[in-house]
Structure 1
């Protein structure tokens, strides 16, 4: 494990009103940093900023990250940029493929171009989706990416994030820009919305309201869920680890659970009378929708760089989400 570099004092978070971004902002403020977020609120929520705005070291701008003159000023003031702005959620991706591609690639182009002018460090949030149909689990960062057909809009997200990665690494290799690419694996926790197909908050909401808990497909597909508090700590440590520059790093948990078992767990923890109902992918999304049966990260690189990886058990994570929904 390497020691953290001297801490930057001013962080810029794109997509900062979103689920992960708002948790990261809170974490950085707790570290005594100055934090400014920019978000167009297309998927983020202004209510995620309510507590943050009480801190004098916090600022925010409601705007599109592709507003280059504005972003030039914000990037110039920052020591490190956490680039989280992206189209999120399977449902949004399937329903709005143009927005997915334009948002993901366009925003990343702007951030990297501006950061390169002043050599500002950038942490680029990517996704486990880029592994696509690769079935060699656990996934290593240098595994091949196996994408589906371009005729299926479902893969536009994975492809656009892969382009983000190529571009970030090209800036590092060709121009020396200090960048870190993080592939996030199913980050969950309080404040995450099920609006765009996020499975855990959807299950919790359905269970608490006595509605059918809807499992897509046969429910045998498995995922590794990571608690957002642990994930943002990893992002922070990677941002301050010189050895992580120019690297792609998986950030996720090793603990695997099937979606069917997750539904059963949520039903038990909420003491719900809801029925667990299976719905075909064709009915849930679109005809011919493809999903990955397993998505498990190899996090040995992460642990080698910062000495830790997300460890919280899915039952404890689910309890935190249930408590959040009950408080609301």
Structure 2
């Protein structure tokens, strides 16, 4: 059944791939974005498609559309971006959630919230199951994003309980792939950009902290499956790759795949930076019949090839507080 689908943050890294997939499925897709951290180039190839529409709009402000489904991806997701204007980041999570939930209530639409593994903070439980309530510093530098996403989950569940809005919540772990913003501050984009430029590879801490990296196509598949899962399952559900790598292992793999001679440089670990991050995806396997399929090496090869193909000057440089 073809549907009218709104994707907020649809010109971003993940949002653009989600829009692309939904357009290919034949749905009428509305991409809404304020282009704070995203690029119009990410969706330029979709502009001539009859079932795609692009709207420049800030989701902190109300908008009235008629839709059947909403994927709410709007929010800066990289530390350098969400810490640049932390108040606006919090408003995007809170007001954005209120506005899309209000629309979903009026239209009787299904709405999916792109939450984050950051709701677990610097976890004391490993790997992290959905039942774990997290260890978050509510007054730290990352709190605008961590707590904003936690509060958004609260709003989603309250709209579901009080108004019967059909909601879905996914907690996204580290995701990478083509169309990542080269200056987003994420470890994969940082390492690839630095390696290709022959710059020093910056590792924060001693490199023993871990992350789990999920390729963008696997993540988009998980989100679509979550939207279509049975009505009785709201989530939250973890979406991510359960394979765990140290940051140093990632840096060394990027050096190998790029053929770079860049050297590793170690700097102090930022405040509240998680030391371990790995999802427990048992729930996703059971409820969504989903698990990642892309090996890290192959995914990095594809991502590096994309980084080689772009003109870095077409991307906005780091913000002043980056």
TM-score (norm 1): 0.91
Distance 1:247 1:149 in 2: 23
Gaps (5+ residues) in structure 2? 311-322
1:271-325 CA-partner distances (Å, limit 9, x unpaired): 001111111135xxxxxx1211111111111111221112311111111110001
Q: CA deviation at 1:154?
A: 1.8
User: Which of 78, 90, 93 is residue 104 of structure 1 equivalent to?
Assistant: 93
Say yes or no: does 1:90 pair with 2:79.
Answer: yes
The RMSD of aligned alpha carbons is 1.3
User: Which of 270, 289, 302 is residue 320 of structure 1 equivalent to?
Assistant: 302
Please state whether the residue corresponding to 1:295 is helix, strand or coil. coil
User: Which of 110, 114, 119 is residue 108 of structure 2 equivalent to?
Assistant: 119
Distance 1:311 1:95 in 2: 34
Distance 1:11 1:53 in 2: 16
Distance 2:184 2:294 in 1: 24
Say yes or no: does 1:251 pair with 2:245.
Answer: no
Look up the match of 1:293. Answer: 275
1:59-108 CA-partner distances (Å, limit 9, x unpaired): 1101111331xx21x2x2x1100000012211223332112111111111
User: Which of 130, 144, 167 is residue 119 of structure 2 equivalent to?
Assistant: 130
User: Which of 264, 281, 284 is residue 276 of structure 1 equivalent to?
Assistant: 264
Q: CA deviation at 1:244?
A: 5.9
Distance 1:203 1:26 in 2: 27
Contact 1:244–1:305 (8 Å) recurs in 2: no
Correspondences of 1:85-234 after superposition (within 5 Å):
85-150=74-139, 152-234=140-222
Contact 1:83–1:125 (8 Å) recurs in 2: yes
Look up the match of 2:28. Answer: 34
Distance 2:232 2:114 in 1: 14
How many residues were matched structurally?
Answer: 310
Contact 1:34–1:57 (8 Å) recurs in 2: yes
Look up the match of 1:65. Answer: 59
Look up the match of 1:18. Answer: 12
Please state whether the residue corresponding to 1:218 is helix, strand or coil. coil
Contact 1:83–1:122 (8 Å) recurs in 2: yes
Please state whether the residue corresponding to 1:281 is helix, strand or coil. coil
Deviates more, 1:17-26 or 1:289-298: 289-298
Contact 2:2–2:26 (8 Å) recurs in 1: no
Q: CA deviation at 1:233?
A: 1.1
Gaps (5+ residues) in structure 1? 1-6, 283-288
Contact 1:87–1:99 (8 Å) recurs in 2: no
